[in-house]
Amino acid sequence: MSNEATLHGHSEVGTSHDVHHGEHEIHHHKETFITKYVFSQDHKMISKQFIITGIIWAILGGLMSVLFRLQLGYPDSSFPILEDLLGKWAKGGKIQPEFYYALTTMHGTVLVFFVLTGGLSGTFANFLIPLQIGARDMASPFLNMLSYWFFFLASIIMVCSLFLETGPASGGWTVYPPLSALGDANNGSKAGMDFWIVSMAMFVVSSLLGGLNYISTILNMRTKGMSMTRLPLTIWAILFTAILGVLSFPVLFSGLILLMFDRHGGTSFYLSDIFISATQKALPNEGGSAILYQHLFWFLGHPEVYIIILPAMGLVSEVMAVNSRKPIFGYMAMVGSLFAITILAFLVWAHHMFVTGLNPLLGSVFVLLTLLIAIPSAIKVFNWITTLWRGNIRFTPAMLFAIGFVSLFISGGLTGIFLGNSTLDIHLHDTYFVIAHFHIVMGVSAFFGMFCGLYHWFPKMYGRYMNNTMAYIHFWITLIGAYLIFWPMHYEGLAGMPRRYLDYSGWSSFNQFGDLNRFISTVAMVVFAVQLMFVFNFFYSIFKGRKVTSENPWGATTLEWTTPIRPGHGNWPGEIPEVHRWAYDYGKDGRDFISQTEPIGANESSH
Amino acid sequence: MSTIFIIIILLLGFVITFQIAKASEYVSVLKGEKKAFENNNRINGFLMMVFLVAGLIGVYWCNELFKGKVLGEAASQHGKQIDSMLHITFIITGIIFIITQVLLFWFAYKYQYSEKRKGYYFPHDNRLEMVWTVIPAIALTILVGFGLFYWFRITGDAPKDALQIEVTGKQFGWIFRYPGKDEIFGKKYYQNISDAKQNSLGLIWDDPATHDDIVVNTTMYLIVNRPVKLIINSRDVIHDVGLAEFRMKMDAVPGTPTTMWFTPLYTTEEKKKMTHNPDFEYEISCDQMCGSSHFTMRGVIKVVTNEEFILWRAKQKSNYASVFENTPAAPGKTDSSNMKAAAVINTNAASKSVAQKN
C-alpha cells in the first residue's frame, strides 16, 4: 500500500499532517481490489466493513438466543436436529447445561461488544464523522484501518473459541471470578476463557484506536464555519461515546490482565479461601477479593451501556428532525444532557453491586447518582416528543425506527428507576426483571437506533434505497415482537424468577410461567426470522435496490448530502463546503429546509 | 421431518413477502412516488394509533393475567417494606409511562404528513425545558427519599436477639451451620475442608466452640417472628442467597463473609394455607451464575414455631459428634496435616471468626 493513499485527503482547516499544498482536486490513485475493499483506508469503506461484520455477528448472536430460547420454552422436548448440528452439546436433542451457559455468555458478549459497540459505533462514527463535519477522511486513516482489523482479529479469536473441545467461556458475559478463573470449577473457564480474554484485549485495542481517531477528527478537522455548536447531534453523541470508551475500556483491560495472572500466574487478586468440590482440593490462594473484579468490570460495564445507547440517541435525534421537517427541540439541552449522561456514567457503576455486601452507605450514594441519570434522560425524551409536536411527519422506515426507539427507551428507562433504587434491587437483582430492563433499554433500543441509521443513510452508503415494504414489515413485527418478548419478563422478575436458569421445573416458586416461556420463545423465533429478512433486504438492496437519483433525497441540511451520490475517497470532488449555520434549519421562514452551506440571508430571522 | 416442513413454510412465506415487496416498489414507481408515499404514510400513521391503543390494552390485560402469579404476600417484614416501595414506584413510573407513550404515538399520528401543513419552527423554549427538568427531579427526590429510608432499615444492624445461622454456598448446594448451645460459631479454616472426612466447612476441632456446632445441608430451619441473621460464605465461587418469598438477596463471596437479616412472618404451614398450596415451600435460589448446575442449586427454608425449632435442634447431632462418634479421644488425634494448618493460620482464622460472631 502506498503512503499516498493515506494522504490524498486534504482538510480545509489546516492540520499538521498536510503534506500536499495548494491542490484541491481529488487524486485518483490506481486502486486495487485489496486497497479498495480489504485494507481500505477510506472511512466509508471501513464503516461498511464494520456494519457487515456486525451483521454477521448479530445473526450469530441472535441464533444463539433462538437456541437457548428453544430450551427455555420447551424444556421437556427434544430436537434431534440439534444433535445432528451440534453433536455432544445437544446430546439426545436437548441443549446441555454447559452449552446453555456457553450460549448465554456468548450471546451477551457478542451483542454487547461486537454488535452494539463495534458494529454500531464503528459503522456510524466512521461513516458520519468526516461526512458531517466536512472532512476528507479521519485524522488518521491508517489507525482507522487498524481499528477495523483489530476488531476483525478479536472476532476471529472469539469465533475460534466456539470450536474448542471444552467450549467457549460460559460464566456469563460479565465473567466474574472465581468462576471464570478456575477451569476446575467450570469447563468454559478452561481454554475458552483464555480465548475470551485475548479476544477482548484485541477488541479494547480496536476500540481505543477508533475512539482516539474519532475524538481527534471531531475536534481538529471540522470544516470552515463548523463550530462545535453547529455540529449535528449525531456527531456530539459519537464524540461523547468515544470519550467514554477511551476512558473506560483500559480499566476493563487492567481487570482482565489481573484475571489472566490469577488464572496462570498463581496470583491472588480475586481468589481467596477456595475449595473446589469437583477435585476435592483447597487452593493455596488467600487474601484476594472477588469483588475487586466487579468494581473494575463495571467501571467499564456501566459506561459501556452508554457507549451503546448514545450513538443511537444521536442517530435518532438527527433522523427525527429531518423527518418531522422541524428543528430538533432544545439542541443545547440535548448536548447538555448527553454531557451529563457521560459524566454520570462514570459515577454509577456500583449499582450493579448492591447485593455483593457493599457498604450500605456507599450503596446509598450510588442510588442517588444513578437516579440522577433519569433527569437528562427525561429531558431527552420530552425533547424528542416536542420535536414531533406540530411537525409534518414522514414515516420513512428510519423515522419509524426513531419513534420506536423513543417508545422503547421510555419503557426500559422507567424500569431502570426500579433497579437503580437499592431497596427494590434487593428483590429484583439478577431476576428476569433485569433481563427485561436492559434488553429493552439498551438491546432493542440500540438496535432500533442502528436500524434507524441504516435505513436513513443506506442511500448515502450504497447509492440505492432499501425496499420500503420489507422495511415496514420489519419495523412493525420487530416493535410488537420486542414488547411481546420482553414486557412479560418483568412479571417473571417480580416473582423473583432468577436469570441464567435453563429449567425451572424443579422450583415451586418459579414454575408457574411455563406457558409464558413457551410464548416468549415462539415470538422470539418469529422476530429473529424477520431480522433475517432485514439482512436479506440489506444485501439485496446493495446490488438491486432502487437507485438514488438526487443528491439529497431526504431534504436534509447536513453536509453529507452535499457530496455526490456515490462519493469517492475524499468525499467532495471540489473544495470542502463552508458551513454558515447550524444543522437544524427546517421549516424556517417558510422554507422547507436550509442547507448548512447556505450563508445567512440578509432578512433571515434569528432563532 | 416436521423441522424440514417448518423451514419450507418459512422459506415460502419469505419468498412471497419478497415478491410482494418488489411488486409494491414497481407499483409505486408506476403510480408516482408522491402518491405511493402519501399512501404509505397514512397507513403507518394509522398503525401508530392502533399500536398505542392495542399496547395500552395489552399492558392492562397482562397485568390482570399475572396479578395472582407474581408477588404473593411478602413473608418478611423487610419484604413488606420492599413491596410498598414497589407500589410507590409503580404509581409514579406508571403515570409517566402512560403520559409519554400517549404523547409520542398520538403526536406521531396527529402530525403525520399533510400537503397543507408545514413543520413549525420551534427550536427551543427555556420555560418548557425547565418544567421537564424540575418535574422529574421532584419525582426522583421522592423515590430516592423513600428508597433510602427503607434501604437503611433493611440493611441496618440486626436486633441483638436475632437467631444466627451461617450459610455457605458451594457447587451446587447449601450448607447451614447453627452455633449450638454456646451460641458461638467455632473457628474454621478452608484448608481443613474435606467432604470425605465429613468436615464440609473446615471446622477446627481444636477449638472447643466447634464441638456443638450443628451442620446441615439443603434445609434451613427458622423461627417465625424471630429475627434471623444470616452470615453468608462461599466455599468456591460466588453464589447468591435468593429468598424470593422474603424479598431478600445477598451474594455469597469466597473469602469475604456477608450478612443479611430479616424476620419471617409466617410459618411454612401457615403459608400453605394462605396460598392454598399443600406443597408450598420457601425456597433458596442461587441468583448468581455459579457453574453448569447453577439452575439446580436449591435450598429449602422451613419456618417453624419456637417449640418446633427447639425440638428439631435437639434431634440434631453436632458435626463434631458425627465425625468422632466412634473415636472418643478425638481432638488430640486429628491427623497431623489438619493440626499444622490450624496452627499456621490460627490468628488469621481467629480474626475471621470474630468478625462472624457479630
Q: Is residue B21 part of a domain?
A: no
- Residues in A closer than 8 angstroms to B190, CB to CB, are 273-275, 282
Q: Is residue B5 part of a domain?
A: no
H helices within A350-421, ranges in order? 360-372, 374-388, 397-419
**What is the complex's ipTM, to 2 decimals?**
0.91
| B254: nearest CB among A272, A325, A327 | A272
Count of structural domains, chain B: 2
Chain B (179-208) residues lying within 8 Å, Cβ to Cβ, of chain A: 190-191, 193-196, 202
- In the prediction, which pLDDT does B326 show? 62
Using only C-alpha atoms, chain A has a radius of gyration, in whole angstroms, of: 25
Q: What is the DSSP letter of A599?
A: P
| B253: nearest CB among A290, A472, A492 | A290
**B278 and B185 within one domain:** yes
- Would you put residue A363 in left (φ > 0), alpha (ψ -120 to 50) or beta? alpha
- Inter-axis angle of helices A445-462 and A514-544, to 10 degrees? 10
| A588: nearest CB among B25, B58, B121 | B121
**B327 and B218 within one domain:** yes
Q: Cα(B190)–Cα(B204) distance, rounded to whole angstroms?
A: 10
What SS3 state is found at A513?
helix
| A423: nearest CB among B25, B48, B154 | B154
Residue A479: closest C-alpha in chain B = B51
Instruction: Confirm if B267 and B221 have CB atoms less than 8 A apart.
Output: no
Chain A (455-494) residues lying within 8 Å, Cβ to Cβ, of chain B: 467-470, 472-473, 476, 479-480, 483, 487-488, 491-492, 494
Smallest CA-to-CA distance from A396 within B236, B40, B75 is with B40
Place of cell 430571522: A605
| Interface check A596 vs B, CB under 8 A | no
> Which of A352, A377, A421, A485 to probe the B interface (max B CBs under 10 A)?
A421
Q: Cα(A405)–Cα(B197) distance, rounded to whole angstroms?
A: 59
What SS3 state is found at A12?
coil
Instruction: Confirm if B341 and B199 have CB atoms less than 8 A apart.
Output: no
Cell of A301: 460495564
E strand or H helix at A377: helix A374-388
Percent of chain B surpassing pLDDT 70: 91
**B264 and B176 within one domain:** yes
- Inter-axis angle of helices A360-372 and B126-155, to 10 degrees? 160
Question: B238 phi and psi, to 5 degrees?
Answer: -75, 130
How do residues A109-142 score in pLDDT, each as one tens digit?
999 999 999 999 999 999 999 999 999 999 999 9
How do residues A392-446 score in pLDDT, each as one tens digit?
999 999 999 999 999 999 999 999 999 999 999 999 999 999 999 999 999 999 9
Instruction: Confirm if B36 and B28 have CB atoms less than 8 A apart.
Output: yes
Cell of A572: 467532495
- Residues in B closer than 8 angstroms to A510, CB to CB, are 244, 285
Q: Cα(A109)–Cα(A104) distance, rounded to whole angstroms?
A: 9
Q: Is residue B225 part of a domain?
A: yes
Smallest CA-to-CA distance from A298 within A100, A112, A102, A61 is with A112
Q: Is residue B186 part of a domain?
A: yes
Q: Is the sign of the CA dihedral A434, A440, A444, A450 positive or negative?
A: negative
Q: Cα(A548)–Cα(A540) distance, rounded to whole angstroms?
A: 15
**B254 and B233 within one domain:** yes
**B311 and B282 within one domain:** yes
| Interface check B256 vs A, CB under 8 A | yes
- Residues in B closer than 8 angstroms to A364, CB to CB, are 148, 151-152
- Cα dist. A369→A337, A347, A374, A421, A511 in Å? 15, 7, 10, 10, 36
Is A550 exposed, middle or buried, given 0-12, 13-18 or 19+ CB atoms closer than 10 A? Answer: exposed
Instruction: Confirm if A53 and A118 have CB atoms less than 8 A apart.
Output: yes
> Where in the sequence is the domain holding B96, given as residue range(s)?
27-113+122-155
- Residues in A closer than 8 angstroms to B148, CB to CB, are 364, 367-368, 422-423
Is B272 exposed, middle or buried, given 0-12, 13-18 or 19+ CB atoms closer than 10 A? Answer: middle
| A423: nearest CB among B47, B112, B147 | B147
- In the prediction, which pLDDT does B119 show? 87
> A590: how many CB neighbours lie within 10 A of its CB?
7
Instruction: Confirm if B290 and B237 have CB atoms less than 8 A apart.
Output: yes
Cell of B276: 392454598
Beta bridge partners of A393: B112
How do residues B191-236 score in pLDDT, each as one tens digit?
999 999 899 999 999 999 999 999 999 899 999 999 999 999 999 9
**B246 and B151 within one domain:** no
| A291: nearest CB among B17, B55, B253 | B253
**Kind of pairing between the strands at B163-170 and B248-252:** unpaired
- In the prediction, which pLDDT does A9 show? 41
How do residues B61-112 score in pLDDT, each as one tens digit?
999 999 888 888 899 999 999 999 999 999 999 999 999 999 999 999 999 9
Place of cell 470508551: A245
CATH superfamily assigned to domain A39-590? Cytochrome c oxidase-like, subunit I domain (1.20.210.10)
Contact check, Cβ <8 Å, B251/A508: no
Contact check, Cβ <8 Å, A423/B85: yes
- Would you put residue B247 in left (φ > 0), alpha (ψ -120 to 50) or beta? left
What is the mean predicted confidence (pLDDT) over A480-488?
A: 96
How do residues A576-600 score in pLDDT, each as one tens digit?
999 999 999 999 888 899 999 999 9
**B224 and B145 within one domain:** no
What is the mean predicted confidence (pLDDT) over A333-340?
A: 96
Instruction: Confirm if A576 and A589 have CB atoms less than 8 A apart.
Output: no
**Is a pLDDT exceeding 50 seen at residue A20?**
no
- In the prediction, which pLDDT does A28 show? 55
How do residues B15-63 score in pLDDT, each as one tens digit?
888 888 888 888 887 888 888 889 999 999 999 999 999 999 999 999 9
**B219 and B108 within one domain:** no
Residue B192: closest C-alpha in chain A = A282
What is the mean predicted confidence (pLDDT) over A199-226?
A: 96
**B135 and B170 within one domain:** no
B221: CATH: 2.60.40.420
Q: Is the sign of the CA dihedral A17, A22, A26, A29 positive or negative?
A: negative
Lowest mean pLDDT among A14-18, A250-254, B79-83: A14-18
Q: Is residue B4 part of a domain?
A: no
Chain B (299-328) residues lying within 8 Å, Cβ to Cβ, of chain A: none
- In the prediction, which pLDDT does A29 show? 59
What mean pLDDT is reported for chain B?
A: 88
| Interface check B123 vs A, CB under 8 A | yes
Smallest CA-to-CA distance from A313 within A289, A291, A342 is with A342
What is the mean predicted confidence (pLDDT) over B123-129?
A: 91
Chain A (129-168) residues lying within 8 Å, Cβ to Cβ, of chain B: none
| Interface check A172 vs B, CB under 8 A | yes
| Interface check A66 vs B, CB under 8 A | no
- A vs B: CB pairs below 8 A: 385
Q: Is residue B281 part of a domain?
A: yes
**Residues in Cβ contact with B163 at an 8 Å cutoff, skipping those fewer than 6 apart:** B222, B223, B226, B227, B228, B229
Q: Cα(B117)–Cα(B99) distance, rounded to whole angstroms?
A: 25
E strand or H helix at B260: strand B258-262
Q: Cα(B213)–Cα(B200) distance, rounded to whole angstroms?
A: 12
Which string of DSSP letters, residue by residue, matches A429-464? TTBHHHHHHHIIIIIIHHHHHHHHHHHHHHHHHHSB
What SS3 state is found at A388?
helix
- Cα dist. A300→A202, A252, A342, A501 in Å? 16, 6, 12, 26
> A165: how many CB neighbours lie within 10 A of its CB?
9
Instruction: Confirm if A475 and B264 have CB atoms less than 8 A apart.
Output: no
E strand or H helix at B219: strand B219-223
Q: Cα(A171)–Cα(A197) distance, rounded to whole angstroms?
A: 13
- Residues in A closer than 8 angstroms to B118, CB to CB, are 325, 392, 587, 590, 592
pTM check: above 0.90: yes
Contact check, Cβ <8 Å, B249/A355: yes
**Kind of pairing between the strands at B219-223 and B298-304:** parallel
**Is a pLDDT exceeding 90 seen at residue A332?**
yes
Q: Cα(A423)–Cα(A415) distance, rounded to whole angstroms?
A: 14
Q: What is the DSSP letter of B188?
A: B
- In the prediction, which pLDDT does B351 show? 44
What is the mean predicted confidence (pLDDT) over A35-57?
A: 92
What mean pLDDT is reported for chain A?
A: 92
**B341 and B280 within one domain:** yes
Q: Is residue B14 part of a domain?
A: no
**B192 and B136 within one domain:** no
Contact check, Cβ <8 Å, B121/A375: no
Chain A (180-239) residues lying within 8 Å, Cβ to Cβ, of chain B: 182, 185-187
What SS3 state is found at A606?
coil
Percent helix, strand, coil in chain A, to 5, is 65, 0, 35
- Residue A33's pLDDT band (cuts 50, 70, 90): confident
Please give the single-letter amino acid code of residue B307.
E
**Is a pLDDT exceeding 90 seen at residue A540?**
yes
- Residue B327's pLDDT band (cuts 50, 70, 90): low
- In the prediction, which pLDDT does B1 show? 63
**B304 and B258 within one domain:** yes
Contact check, Cβ <8 Å, B111/A391: yes
Q: Cα(A562)–Cα(A554) distance, rounded to whole angstroms?
A: 12
| A506: nearest CB among B71, B132, B296 | B296
Place of cell 417484614: B77
Q: Is residue B18 part of a domain?
A: no
**Is a pLDDT exceeding 90 seen at residue A329?**
yes
